[in-house]
Amino acid sequence: MRNKPSIFVTRKLPEAVETRLAGDYQCDFNPDDRLYTGDELVQRADKCDAILCCHTEKFNKEIISRLPKNVRAIANFSVGIDHCDLQAAIAKGIVVTNTPDVLSDATAEIAMLCMLGAARRGNEGFSMVRADRWHDWSPTFMLGKQITGKRFGIIGMGRVGQVTAKRARGFDMQIHYHNRSRLDPEMEQGATYHQQLDSLLAVSDVLSLHCPNNPDSVGLLNADRIAKLPDGAIVVNTARGTVVDDDALVAALKSGKLWAAGIDVFNGEPSEIHPAYRELGNVFVLPHLGSATVETRDAMGFRALDNLDAIFAGREPLDRVA
């Protein structure tokens, strides 16, 4: 009987996913969910046929070049692939996959939570109740921004952006978007396309970021672009921290140019985020929870396993990115 392929699983995964893994493969699990160093990633890959990893592991050019020849595939438990050098993997003959489609709903929900939390001063209200500083009510107490009927600008109208637009329509928001290319009319669902980013910024009462992390998007939301937003706008980021210039965003939040920000992803997360995000009252923050539902994390794991199953059966994986 042929031995089962061996999989190095870099993080603790949901129980249902690990149960399926254990049934179909020989697995090197990480029960303590510790973060491996680059050297440890290379060492533990010594006897595996594939690696199932998350965005927390950095498979850069140097690490991939050191992987042993027995590694046939890197299956990512994520949609984002900016942590993996695809060209280095191609040069090494390693197949790389990701897990698209299955986390759009969950991430769109978080975008709505960030928008509402920012608009309605959720951080300040929560802190007030927890600290027993809520003592009365008045007509001018804790006034926030109403988002119903406002203009909702989206940068990056991919899977998540489209689902987020659908959710925003539930608040009767007017949808505007900027994308590398215009969507077909049936996918636009009446949204207004802006070929130029500056045009989108000018009409975005709420600006929601859904673009991937790549060289063109690093620092995309900088001081110049923030200045083009309407006064009192709200910024929502559930994409990647790298698309925002933190100093510029913090300055706009402090000056009042922006009403608030709702942020789920950060530069330097988790321990080295900009300190102002922990201090400012008009920032609603979450610890990178975009896909953090039971249903979505199970679906991500099963999608990664579907890709591995295809690879070891000699078929083309559905979600190959390299």
- Rounded to the nearest 10 degrees, what angle do helices 294-312 and 104-119 cross at? 150
Residue carrying the six token digits 């280095």: 88
- Rounded to the nearest 10 degrees, what angle do helices 294-312 and 15-24 cross at? 20
Q: Report how far Cα 77 is from the mean position of its chain's Cα atoms.
A: 12
* CB atoms closer than 10 angstroms to residue 314: 6
173 close to 151: Cβ distance less than 8 angstroms? yes
Q: Is residue 72 flagged as an active site residue?
A: no
| Bridge partners, 82 (sequence order) | none
What pTM was estimated for this model as a whole?
Answer: 0.94
Domains (ranges, CATH) in the chain? 6-102+294-312 (3.40.50.720), 104-285 (3.40.50.720)
CA distances from 267 to 20, 52, 106, 206, 229 (A): 34, 24, 21, 21, 22
Q: What DSSP string describes 208-265? A: EE----STTTTT-B-HHHHHTSPTTEEEEE-S-GGGB-HHHHHHHHHHTSEEEEEES-
Q: What is the pLDDT of residues 6-29, one digit of tens each?
A: 999 999 999 999 999 999 999 999
Q: What is the pLDDT of residue 1?
A: 38
Q: Is residue 288 flagged as an active site residue?
A: yes
Q: What is the pLDDT of residues 273-282, one digit of tens each?
A: 999 999 999 9
191 close to 184: Cβ distance less than 8 angstroms? no
Torsional class of 222: left (φ above 0), alpha (ψ -120 to 50), beta (otherwise): beta
Q: Can you tell me the distance from the alpha carbon of 322 to that of 319, in angstroms, rounded to the nearest whole number?
A: 9
Closest CA to 259 of 121, 165, 125, 154: 121
Sites in the chain below the pLDDT cut of 70: 1-2
Among the options 11, 169, 269, 320, which is catalytic?
269
The amino acid at 289: L
243-277 burial code (b ≥16 CB/10 A, e <16): bbbbebbbebbeeebbbbbbbbbbbeeeeebbeeb
Residue 82: both structure tokens together? 């900016």
Among the options 240, 274, 297, 303, which is catalytic?
240
Among the options 44, 66, 182, 288, which is catalytic?
288
What's the N-to-C CA distance of the chain in angstroms? 31
174 close to 198: Cβ distance less than 8 angstroms? no
The three-state secondary structure class of 91 is: helix
Query: Helix H segments across the chain?
Result: 15-24, 38-44, 61-66, 86-92, 104-119, 122-130, 159-169, 185-188, 197-202, 223-227, 246-255, 276-279, 294-312
